Amino acid sequence: MLENSPPSLANCVAVHVRKAISSRETAEIERTLEERIREHGKIRLMVVMESYPTLNSAESIYDDLGFAKKYAPHIERMAVLGDQGWKKHWIALFGLFGGIRAEYFERSDFKSAVNWIQSD
């Protein structure tokens, strides 16, 4: 679930979502976010969505990314990578209502997502 973040960005947390996120996985993600927040103050979050059946509505994205909402004041930006461009608007709404600067990228455009997450 948790992945290595881009090596040049120590304050980035990367999460690879392949299925519904269990409560144990959510707790692990939250521990990692809290640790990075203690170390860096502000963090960046990269979420790669893959074959995730419950992300079929804007509401489910908002619920399933609850760990990001919880730490929104400490997240400078969040890149979400997926395979369905129509979710771009949902991620924009999540960012708006979650108070996070968020961008959606196609998984095939990983390099652009890394460049964006690293930019000032």
CATH number of the domain at 98, please: 3.30.750
Chain position carrying tokens 């930006």: 77
3-state secondary structure of 12: strand
pTM of the model: 0.83
Provide the residue range defining the domain that includes 15. Answer: 2-118
**pLDDT confidence of residue 117:** 92
Cβ atoms 101, 78 nearer than 8 A = yes
**pLDDT confidence of residue 62:** 66
**pLDDT confidence of residue 34:** 95
Q: Could you say which residues of the chain have pLDDT below 70?
A: 1-8, 51-63, 85-86, 88-89, 96
Cα torsion at 80, 84, 87, 91 (round to 10°)? 10
**pLDDT confidence of residue 59:** 66
**pLDDT confidence of residue 67:** 86
Q: How many folded domains does the chain comprise?
A: 1
